Structure 1
Amino acid sequence: MKTSLFIFPNKDRSYFDIIDEVQKVGFDGIELYRACELLRPDTEAAEKIGEYAASKGVAISCISVGANLWRDNPSEDILLLKRYVDVAKALGTPYLHHTLGSVMRHKDMNLRYRCILSNITKALREICGYAKEKGITVINENQGYITNGVPFFEELLSEIDFDNYGLVADLGNILFTDCRPEAFVGRFAPFIKHVHVKDYLYKSGGGLFPGEEWMMTKEGNYLYDAVIGYGVIDFQKVFRILKSAGYDGYFSMECGRETGLPHNIEKGLRNMKRYYENC
């Protein structure tokens, strides 16, 4: 099992500090975000970070960037993502992961599915074409209420004919569509290049509202960020599917505000390894 940490760093920290911490805790790699020295697409800074990580024996599993490609004119996002393709190249990672555009509120669901899919497909073809010239693979995760779930990615994959394109299986995000992660992984295992590992507590939406800290799913149920192993995800089942498909990429533990506390990171890594070893 190749482990990685995906954390959203505070403004007062550097990636050099975080790489030191990742090595100390015992992760094999780190997934970088558009933050700290990489808040802007700076290839010189990326080269220094890549060299430092290599000197510490820490792999850069991926770089992640937020984007919205379902808008009618996502030209600015496309240009930005092309520049982060160059950053990925400078870092020495094979993967650029970017979001497609997340909808997390029911009042924002007034979008036409076919228009969204068409806009995303057109943008992705341009980004993948550029990334292919640089030797970088573009990967997208399941996220939000719309760009998530098996039906959406069935259609998206049928439209993107690039060998440098793949998926990130976000094992927690799939719950926001009220589906199970084993359904997503079971269908797309051969296309999965990277895995985001996180867990959630679950409450039925039929009861009292549990509080503002909880997030609502598409069908009105509630999720709360949890340490890996404390929530509802059957990691042994999911990992078994990935193993049987020959998955050899990173399992990147994604941390929220509370799960990103040092003692919770250690617990999450311990449990993630345990589930993998016993699946």
Structure 2
Amino acid sequence: MKLGISTYSLYQALNSGELTILEVIEYIASLGAEHAEIVPLGFNLTENPELIEAIKKQARESGIELSNYAVGANFSGLNEEQFEKELERLKKEVDIAAALGVKKMRHDVASSADLSISHFLQELPKLAKACQVIADYAAPLGITTSVENHGYYIQHSDRVQALVEVVDRPNFKTTLDVGNFLCADENPQAAVGNNIKFASMVHIKDFYYRSSTDQPGEGWFKSAAGNWLRGSIVGHGDIAIPQVLRIVKESGYDDYISIEFEGLEHCKLGTRLGFEFVKRVWNEL
């Protein structure tokens, strides 16, 4: 297992201008991380391709690997022309992943206001086709593509499983975010147990959880069923992170794990504390 940090964890500092992406990589390395996962929020590699070589150089100088490249995509509700245009855009993102030298790339697949299982099943063949095209494009480059349990529509463990199995490509798996299952009101321990065998990448994220009958106020957002969530430092929230990590470890998973922080605390503090917590717990298991 190689423990690292997603640049998304430092988005607060990137967005404010406190840190550049190169300084983020340097900070990630300073914490003892073995890898950095590149999420282009707060910077843009399509508009600023010169950053690709700069990021690679900074990672080499900092002594860490680049593990994964994570981008958005949406193939839901598109006509044929829009569908093909989105495919071409995403292929260019695969090219960026290859230029970065990473062998893993997460792309979103769909978002929709209609979260029903019937709508998902209706769209599944089209969504699977999109993933097949991108996985086949990425395969000669040695890249494994993946879908994350993310965005309400394809967030439940069984929907992710269904997509991975219908796509049926050896280089298409899931980026498994242990916290995101709560957004679909699914027990994280059960969901991680269901999907760890499909994982090419694992994100460790934590949330505070309150019932739908509570009124917690600013900083909280609703799950699919109307319960309340707020990002926390990993280990400070309501997810049983040690138990989740035990499931991951006992599964035999031995690849990249990324810390993701999206709490209200300063991102450098939240990232450091979460990283230190996961490193300690993993070593004690």
TM-score (normalised: structure 2): 0.88
Alignment of 1:1-279 (within 5 A): 1-6=1-6, 7=8, 8=11, 9-10=14-15, 12=17, 13-35=19-41, 38-40=44-46, 45-73=51-79, 74-103=83-112, 109=115, 112-207=119-214, 209-256=215-262, 258-259=264-265, 261-279=267-285
Q: Higher mean Cα deviation, 194-203 or 110-119?
A: 110-119
Q: Per-residue displacement from partner, 1:208-239 (whole Å, max 9, x unpaired)?
A: x2114211111111111111111111122211
| Residue type of the alignment partner of 2:167 | I
* Preserved contact between residue 206 and residue 237 of structure 2 (Cα < 8 Å): yes
- Alpha-carbon distance in 2 for matches of 1:11, 1:130: 36
Structure 2: gaps (5+ residues): none
Note the C-alpha offset of 1:265.
Answer: 1.6
Q: Per-residue displacement from partner, 1:86-128 (whole Å, max 9, x unpaired)?
A: 111111110111112345xxx6547822233222111111101
- Alpha-carbon distance in 2 for matches of 1:37, 1:203: 33
Instruction: Give me the identity figure in percent.
Output: 31
| Pairwise CA RMSD | 2.1
| Residue type of the alignment partner of 1:66 | G
TM-score (normalised: structure 1): 0.90
Q: Higher mean Cα deviation, 8-17 or 48-57?
A: 8-17
* Preserved contact between residue 41 and residue 83 of structure 1 (Cα < 8 Å): no
* Preserved contact between residue 147 and residue 160 of structure 2 (Cα < 8 Å): no
